[in-house]
Amino acid sequence: MSPLDSLAQTLSGIVLAGFAGAALWLLLRPRARMAALMPAPRLLALAAAASALWAAAMMAFTPGAPQVLVAQMLRDLAMLMWLGATFWSPRAPMSRPLRLIARMLATICVLTLSFGGAAFWFGGAAAVPWMGPALVFAAMVVAIGGLIVVDAGVRHGGAGLRMPVMAVAGGFAMLWAYQLNVELIGALTGTRASTLIALLPAVALLTLPTYVVAAMDIGRERMRLSRTAATRTLILLGAASYLILIALTVAIARAAGGDYAALAQAISLVALLGAAVLMLASARSRAWLSVMISKHFFEHRYDYRAEWMRFTATLGQGDGEEDRNLYRRVAKALAELTGSPGALLMTPAAAGGFRIAEQWHWPGAIPEDATLSLRSAFMLQETQHIVELDAERRGKGGQDLAIPDWLLADTRAWVVVPVLHFQRMIAIAVLHRPAVSRALDWEDLDVLRIAGQQAASYIAESQSQQALSEARRFDEFNRRFAFIMHDIKNLASQLGLLARNAERHADNPDFRADMTQTLKISAGRLSDLLVRLAPRERGPAAEPGRVLVEPVLKDIAAEVRPRRELFVGCQAGLAAWADAGSIRQVVAHLVANAIDASAPESPVQLIAVAEQQRVRIDVIDQGCGMTREFIRDELFKPFVSTKDSGFGLGAFEALQVAQAMGGEIEVASEPGKGSNFTLWLPLADARGDAAIDAQLMKAGRI
């Protein structure tokens, strides 16, 4: 006997003793106590006894002998019976395909044992040469099927099973996986690896502790196989199935004779390398494989724990310099959730509607008219509808959401997700089409809806922080105003004292000279204060009414005539539905800015017409102009000004006043070519619709 056979004999004896002891222990344990911890304890004891019989056969014969394979088939049948009883229960319901596989494997075991026994009974030793390959093939099929049963059963029933059950199932899987590798190597090489076969008792010995754990009252905690582990298991099973296919192909080719075996091996190798290169080089192929695995092998499309941890981590802090912008992080988090390669995030625009505030990995140029109207935003807010743009393009959206043409024309756009905070829309996300496009199902919609609400809370918190910062700056402004009021009080006291002294010393030439000098200084200081404290606050808002626009424009032109001659053009009889004082305040501010931005000889135009059922008032200059970035990010923000002595409140206040009247301000400007500020107001003849829009704006619904 060789040293290897001696080692196998010794290990087989240890396995025999261990499994026989485990079977007795399981049988002697109180049945009620065992049933509370382990499903079908008697069947588990039967599996341990069958394993002991298998070890005895390995001691009596060589590990790869047909008699050992028969005992192995009995052992596998007992193990399948326990798996069927375990994964076919209320705690771990077995799916219909899984039950079919388990029954098929049990049938293979029974038929193999029946036909093998009958052949040996009638044929005797002559049946042994062909019984061996048949038993090996049956053992390979049972091993593959057993791995599938363990994997699927653990995945579907892992939440209701305890740790000892998972340990025993893992031991079965380890034993089957080792045997499958041994038989595959033998099929590929044409000779059975004696060393690996001799080590079978050692592998079986490694599974013995799982029976001990099952017999002991430990491990009451539940276990769940992670999605990553399950995916890797599936990949390994796929690789094993591929190797079996190669082995069968090579075996058939070898049986046919000639050079077909070498040809089959070459073709199989080329196919394997081609598939590997395709998966490594093609992102679309990997995405397709991921979608197929999630769709057909998992109960849910998403691993919610992992996805939610990644989602919140992305929102909470960026990975690099480019992710410090919150809007970019929101776009990135929503895109990664669905496997989209890019995303756009739209936020409310100062001039009304929604504009693109940030993008994450969106390829190509974005159209200039990439905005969303107030009506579209209002419909999305009211319906809370996640829009699948492919359905809208086919006209099967089901609701008239007024999706803009630029968005429908861009086939890269896949899904529109409203980002709602307490039923108020604060942003809109547009997700890029993934590498493998698919229709959204209920799970996608639920995930996107709750993720949008979570992202909205982050944006709302950021906006609250910004509002608090602005409030603090206003508080600082008020404190500064208090100091200025102190200066005014001092000036008033000084002038009052001067007036009282003038009654007594008016005839004194020296006093008159001092008084003149003091008055000049006081007047200069008051002028400086007036420049710094130009009227900012408005009184209570007046009720809107019919206001003729032309007289208001002429009054403004008359007020600024000492500084600049305006060109005024107004449509005859043009009337707005607004407040005359508010119109005067907004237009006067726009005119003053136009004059400040223009050279002394440059003309400034003031033109008013009726357009699109609204009043349009244009203030046009040929001054220094502004960049698009400044208009978008800074023009209408408080405390942002290009003037050395400005507080940056004029444009902010003008926009607030215009919106309070149901209007808006649009800006078109280019550096070095001047600016065109357009004030839109409700037309008096269409005041019904304008009043509704103004109420929506005041209520903050959009």
Q: What's residue 538's pLDDT?
A: 42
CA–CA dist 194, 64 (Å, integer): 8
Residue 355 reports pLDDT greater than 70? yes
Contacts of 232 (CB under 8 A, 6+ apart): none
pLDDT band at 219 (very low <50, low <70, confident <90, very high): very low
Half-sphere exposure at residue 401, Cβ-oriented, CA atoms within 13 angstroms: 28
Lowest-confidence region among 11-25, 94-108, 268-282, 503-517: 268-282
- And the tokens for 149? 């049963």
Residue 680 reports pLDDT greater than 90? yes
pLDDT band at 233 (very low <50, low <70, confident <90, very high): low
Q: What is the pLDDT of residues 26-81, one digit of tens each?
A: 787 665 555 545 567 788 888 889 889 988 888 888 766 777 888 888 888 888 88
Residue 619 reports pLDDT greater than 90? yes
Q: Cβ–Cβ contacts within 10 Å for residue 165, how many?
A: 30
Q: What's residue 686's pLDDT?
A: 66
Q: What's residue 264's pLDDT?
A: 58
pLDDT band at 263 (very low <50, low <70, confident <90, very high): low
Percentage of the chain modeled with pLDDT above 90: 13
Residue 222 reports pLDDT greater than 60? no
Q: What is the pLDDT of residues 482-497, one digit of tens each?
A: 556 656 766 776 677 7
Question: Which carries the bigger pLDDT value, residue 552 or residue 140?
Answer: 552
Do residues 518 and 498 lie in contact, with contact meaning Cβ atoms separated by under 8 Å? yes
Lowest-confidence region among 311-320, 325-334, 492-501, 642-651: 642-651
Do residues 73 and 112 lie in contact, with contact meaning Cβ atoms separated by under 8 Å? yes
Residue 17 reports pLDDT greater than 70? yes
Residue 217 reports pLDDT greater than 60? no
DSSP 686: G
Do residues 264 and 250 lie in contact, with contact meaning Cβ atoms separated by under 8 Å? yes
DSSP, residue by residue, 102-169: HHHHHHHHHHHHHHHHHHHHHHGGGGHHHHHHHHHHHHHHHHHHHHHHHHHHHHHHGGG-BHHHHHHH
Do residues 681 and 617 lie in contact, with contact meaning Cβ atoms separated by under 8 Å? yes
CA–CA dist 83, 172 (Å, integer): 9
Q: Across residues 416-440, what is the average pLDDT?
A: 87
Residue 681 reports pLDDT greater than 90? yes
β-bridge mates for residue 576, sequence order = 547, 683
- And the tokens for 280? 């490594």
Q: What's residue 429's pLDDT?
A: 93
Residue 533 reports pLDDT greater than 80? no
Residue 702 reports pLDDT greater than 50? no
Q: What's residue 696's pLDDT?
A: 44
Residue 690 reports pLDDT greater than 60? no
Do residues 329 and 315 lie in contact, with contact meaning Cβ atoms separated by under 8 Å? yes
| Element of type H or E holding 222 | none
